[in-house]
Amino acid sequence: MAGVVIYFAVAGWPFIGDRPPSADAQPAHARGAADAVPVPAATTDRFDGDRALATARRLVALGPRPAGSRTAQAAAEMLRPLLPRGRLAPLPGRPGLRNVVGEVAGHGRPIVVIAHYDTTPVVGYVGANNSAAAVGAVVELARRLHASRSAAPVVFLLTDGEEAPDYPPKDFAADGLRGSRAAAAGPLGRIAREVIVLDFVGQHGLRIRREGNSDAALWSRLRRAAAAVGVGAVFPAGTQGPILDDHIPFRDRGIPSIDLIDFDYPCWQRTCDTLDKLSARSIDAAGETVMELLRRERARR
């Protein structure tokens, strides 16, 4: 956590949600309400962005989903049957919080794909891009991936309690990331081979640079996968500031981990984070990329 503490000192920012606003944030590229910066269409069709968006719509329709609420519980129950071998995993010591976990079988240590289904406790906040779109993408990845005896297994982890229970959070590092910390403290933290987190992947004009805490080698392979499916422009070179997200508890255990998050998003933790901010094309670009990365990573030895 030393890096985080140093970061706070540098940024002088007392609280964060998904991430601290960063002192060295990327200069905003032109981005209007619509696709001011067009996202290219993927050249592969192994992932259905419209279908992922439809799942995001179902999640948003439940309303705000702060951890511990009835709507969060309803969300978990809605999502469980959408994952292969889906199950609810209550968080130890956190009554009323649970992760949703699924998997496709394979050979060797699992790759873990994560998105959070809870929302920050801002009244009226429905979290379309943060992070219903990412949940929809993970569900769609799970639907399209198949068990393979010659490839690594994949675990799908939809976390609860990623957001802190208060907003603005008094201590996000201590109070946020509850679902991923619980998962990383369990068997997954010992056996996971690598971790891929999807967070803000749905907004128009999606552009994601490597987040400062994300593993550089795995990110390079992600960028190559993106280029291979025709959406390399969505993952430009360069880095954005470090972000505390669900990859951190795994990274802290030495597991190569990356976070797909386009933090250039004005509606972060604001009630304007609604469905109209989402683009099926953007979700598809992220989804096709991760599908290609998983295909390559699962075959690696």
Task: Tell me if 284 contacts Zn ion by CB under 5 A.
Answer: no
Which is closer to Zn ion, CB of 104 or CB of 157? Answer: 157
Which is closer to Zn ion, CB of 106 or CB of 242? Answer: 242
Which is closer to Zn ion, CB of 192 or CB of 201? Answer: 201
Find the shortest distance in angstroms from Cβ 245 to Zn ion. 7
Which is closer to Zn ion, CB of 18 or CB of 262? Answer: 18
Task: Tell me if 211 contacts Zn ion by CB under 5 A.
Answer: no
Which listed range, 35-43, 78-86, 123-131, 215-223, lies at the site for Zn ion (CB under 5 A)? 123-131
Find the shortest distance in angstroms from Cβ 116 to Zn ion. 6
Find the shortest distance in angstroms from Cβ 202 to Zn ion. 11
* Of positions 73, 99, 120, 131, contacts Zn ion by CB under 5 A: 131
Residues numbered 7-26 forming contacts with Zn ion, rule: CB under 5 A: 18
Task: Tell me if 199 contacts Zn ion by CB under 5 A.
Answer: yes
Which is closer to Zn ion, CB of 86 or CB of 202? Answer: 202
Which is closer to Zn ion, CB of 203 or CB of 228? Answer: 203
Q: Count residues binding Zn ion (CB under 5 A).
A: 4
Write out the chain in H/E/C secondary structure: CHHHHHHHHHHCCCCCCCCCCCCCCCCCCCCCCCCCCCCCCCCCCCCCHHHHHHHHHHHHHCCCCCCCCHHHHHHHHHHHHHCCCCEEEECCCCCCCEEEEEEECECCCCEEEEEECCCCCCCCCCCHHHHHHHHHHHHHHHHHCCCECCCCCEEEEEECCCCCCCCCCCCHHHHCCHHHHHHHHCHHHHHCCEEEEECCCCECCCCCCEECCCCHHHHHHHHHHHHHCCCHHHCCCCEECCCCCCCHHHHCCCCCEEEECCCCCCCCCCCCCCHHHECHHHHHHHHHHHHHHHHHHHHCC
Find the shortest distance in angstroms from Cβ 124 to Zn ion. 17
Find the shortest distance in angstroms from Cβ 123 to Zn ion. 18
User: Which residues contribute to the site for Zn ion (CB under 5 A)?
Assistant: 18, 130-131, 199
